């Protein structure tokens, strides 16, 4: 349904997967990958968003590298060695690309991320300010030392948190949400009791897929994006 694209990234180029709105132009969405890389699941999220009237771009932050879902050690290595400056440039280039694309309308874009990408979606909004009009983070937030400078953060934010998650503990996620609300940010944290990390991923290696929680989170995601991006 979508296509592979290249776009400028701070003097170089980056690549990604683009799925344009099924009819006409729609709001743009940056889709940010899990630690596995730009795999079929993330491309599928882009495809689903396109059928809902959005134009979605998933930048390939690993530049062609990918880990299978049985390769957790490789995925961890890819995530831990991802150069923060390069990922920031690539995400910023993706925003520029979408805002200039004929299938995108509006003066800002949304960001939807999963796990590592959930964390990065909020980092992106902190970097890009009002060019990000909405954030949806699935079981990932920039906790502790990962926190960015929040001073430019304006995006209304929806966070889906697993009730049992050692990677991004619900108490820590709720605490960060409370902190950001105290700073005047619009942040809603939904905890899904009894679920585990990556509950929306139907083929995840942890065995934590929860179809009902995934459906509920997706409905909330679409409602939130339509409310804030049109």
Where are the domains positioned within the chain? 3-229
pLDDT of 87-118, one tens digit each? Answer: 999 999 999 999 999 999 999 999 999 999 99
Note the pLDDT of residue 105: 96
pLDDT (0 to 100) of residue 1: 77
Task: Determine the pLDDT at residue 202.
Answer: 85
Residues of the chain short of pLDDT 70, as ranges, are none
Beta carbons within 8 Å of 206's beta carbon, 6+ residues apart? 196, 197, 198
- What per-residue confidence (pLDDT) applies to 193? 97
- pLDDT number for residue 151: 98
Q: In this structure, are residues 119 and 142 in contact, taking their beta carbons and an 8 Å threshold?
A: yes
Are the beta carbons of 112 and 221 closer than 8 angstroms? yes
Residues 3-229, CATH architecture: 3-Layer(aba) Sandwich (3.40)
Contacts of 99 (CB under 8 A, 6+ apart): 28, 107, 108, 109, 131
> Which residue has 């909020």 as its token pair?
122
Task: State how far the Cα of 21 lies from the Cα of 19, in Å rounded to an integer.
Answer: 7
What confidence score (pLDDT) does residue 52 get?
A: 97
pLDDT digits (tens, 9 = 90+) for 113-145: 999 999 999 999 999 999 999 999 999 999 999
Please state the pTM of the whole predicted model. 0.97
Angle between helices 116-128 and 84-99 (to 10 degrees): 70
């Amino acid at each position: 349904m979508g296509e592979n694209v290249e776009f400028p990234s701070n003097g170089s180029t980056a690549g990604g997967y683009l799925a344009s709105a099924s009819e006409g132009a729609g709001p743009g969405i940056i889709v940010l990958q899990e630690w596995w890389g730009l795999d079929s699941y993330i491309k599928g999220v882009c495809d689903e968003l396109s059928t809902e009237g959005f134009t979605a771009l998933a930048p390939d932050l690993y530049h062609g590298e990918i880990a299978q879902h049985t390769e957790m050690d490789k995925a961890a290595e890819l995530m831990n060695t991802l150069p923060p400056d390069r990922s920031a440039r690539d995400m910023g280039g993706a925003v520029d690309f979408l805002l200039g694309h004929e299938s995108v309308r509006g003066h800002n874009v949304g960001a939807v991320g999963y796990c590592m990408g959930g964390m990065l979606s909020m980092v992106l909004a902190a970097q890009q300010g009002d060019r990000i009009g909405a954030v949806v983070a699935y079981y990932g937030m920039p906790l502790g030392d990962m926190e960015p400078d929040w001073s430019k953060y304006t995006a209304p934010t929806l966070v889906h948190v697993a009730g049992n998650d050692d990677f991004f503990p619900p108490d820590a996620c709720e605490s960060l949400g409370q902190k950001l609300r105290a700073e005047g940010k619009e942040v809603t944290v939904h905890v899904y009791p009894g679920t585990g990390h990556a509950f929306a991923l139907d083929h995840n290696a942890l065995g934590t897929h929860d179809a009902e929680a995934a459906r509920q989170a997706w409905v909330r995601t679409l409602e939130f994006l339509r409310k804030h991006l049109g």
